[in-house]
Amino acid sequence: MSNVTMSRRAFARIITFSLAIIITLSVFAIQYRGRAVKAERAVENNYMHAVEELSLGLDNIKNNLQKGMYTNSISMLSDLSEKLSSDAATAKSSLASLPVDELDLTDAYRFLSQVGNYSKSLADKCAKGATLTEEERSNIAKLYSYAKELSGNMWKIEQRIGSGEITLSDAAYASAKLDSAGKPATVTDGFTDFSVSDNSYPTLIYDGPYSDHIMEKDPLMLKNMKKIDLAEATRLAKKLTGGAEPDLLTEEEGRMPSYVFLDGTRTIAVTKSGGYYSYMLSSRDVRKQNITANEAMSRAREFLSDLDINNVADSYYEIRNGICVINFAAVQNGVTLYTDLIKVGVALDSGEVLSFDMRGYLTNHTIRDLPSPKISGEHAMTLVSGNLSPASYQLCVIPSSGQNEIFCYEVKCVGKDGENILVYLNAETGREEQILILKIGSGGVLTV
């Protein structure tokens, strides 16, 4: 009887140990699978980051080459050459980190290696007193055409990745997706059309008025202003909630300390100094579009007028996810102050103002002692590149690359291919300070 009992106990131990081993192995398998999934995601994230950096670099190269076609100053050409060198290095590094070794991308690499060096050589030449020849300007135009097609091909690759046609989780193959021939779609497949069809680019013997750095200084409008308490801030916030009592969400500090309130889907910030509205944001979904961009602009102007902000002009706008975001700039005696910005977002389904951002305006707005321009607008129009046809001009203030401001003429021009180009010329010296490309389409009117 004792032996039988021992056998049962031994059998029970065996079953117990076996189950323990199975459970342990299952846990290890799950952990291993979890690590594998994490590793796969890490690889995919790294590749996706490289794709985004490559796409952004190529887009910047294209835009800066286009500006290079229309610059008429040594300093601007030098600035563009530095940007081209930086963007080309980023794009080259990103391309090198992608699993496309078996493709012949010699021309693409050669382009990225030479475009910055070529533009720098032209800038150095001009700095010594020489001017660009027609052949050199033609070379810049050819480089732009090459970059434009390269950037367009990269956009197609991004679309294929976004649709899931190409995945980036495996360095060699994305086995989850099959092409029409029943073969796994590889990362390399997406880049077979990356090279430009016409690779005969020349043999070689490039943020403006809306820069984020304008937010990096102490707000001028808040200096020496009286502090308000929570009760007063709540009263001000209620004007934007239709009288509903908002909840205090938090108190922001930093350069613009504010009370931040929450009312349903709406967040409202009121500055502690002076009691100015800082920003508002609503997260409600926008449905079918019922109003036009022009109607949205009218609604935005009415909203600002209700806040007693009237000396502003709408400039550029962008439509995204059913919301039209309009940029307004302050105006002083007919001079547009591109540093003093207000952004207003209007829902295209109802015309409701869903967002506004006053921080750029609060940071920079003040009454300026503007000088009289030393050159005329008509003369400024003669200073733009011969590749441009100037159409109109206006006086404006733009930020410099530091935290200063430049009094300029904004000269609106048309390029050789019908592009809309904005050239900013110093109103005192005639120096070319900035070039922007105006993009006009169904998604808005933007500058790059």
333 and 418 in a common domain = no
Residue 182 and residue 229 in one domain: no
Q: Is residue 188 part of a domain?
A: yes
Cβ atoms 206, 68 nearer than 8 A: yes
Residues 318 and 397 in one domain: no
Contact 31, 82 (CB under 8 A): no
Tokens for 219? Answer: 């707000």
Do residues 52 and 30 both lie within one domain? yes
86-100, 133-147, 320-334, 424-438: least confidently modelled range? 86-100
CA 275, 278, 284: angle at the middle one, nearest 5?
A: 125
128 secondary structure, DSSP code: T
pLDDT value, residue 78: 78
Q: Of all helices (H) and strands (E), which one includes residue 439?
A: strand 432-441
Last residue in a domain, options 155, 182, 206? 206
Q: Are residues 263 and 332 in the same domain?
A: yes
- Name 269's Cβ contacts closer than 8 Å, sequence gap at least 6: 252, 258, 259, 260, 261, 277, 278, 279, 280
422 and 407 part of one domain:
yes
Which of 149, 181, 206 is the last residue before a domain boundary?
A: 206
- The DSSP output letter for 353 is E
The dihedral through the CA atoms of 178, 179, 182, 187 has a sign that is negative
> In this structure, is residue 3 part of a structural domain?
no
> Do 302 and 438 lie in a common domain?
no
pLDDT at 34: 56
49 to 43, 54, 97, 102, 157: CA distances (angstroms):
10, 9, 10, 21, 14
In this structure, what token pair is assigned to residue 346?
């209007």
Please name the residues in contact with 77: beta carbons below 8 A apart, sequence gap of 6 or more: 68, 71, 119, 122, 123, 126, 206
Same domain, 184 and 242: no
Per residue in 32-83, pLDDT tens? 555 555 555 555 667 777 777 888 888 888 888 888 888 877 778 778 878 8
Q: Are residues 30 and 172 in the same domain?
A: yes
Predicted confidence at residue 172, as pLDDT, reads 36
pTM of the model: 0.60
Reported as a single tens digit per residue, the pLDDT across 275-313 is 999 988 887 888 888 999 999 999 999 999 999 998 999
Is 5 a domain residue?
A: no
Does some domain include residue 19? no
Tell me which residue range forms the domain holding 340.
Answer: 213-364
Report the pLDDT value the prediction gives residue 344, as an integer from 0 to 100: 93
Instruction: Give a yes or no: residue 11 inside a domain.
Output: no
Do 173 and 71 sit in the same domain of this protein? Answer: yes
| Residues 79, 155 share a domain | yes
127 and 275 assigned to the same domain = no
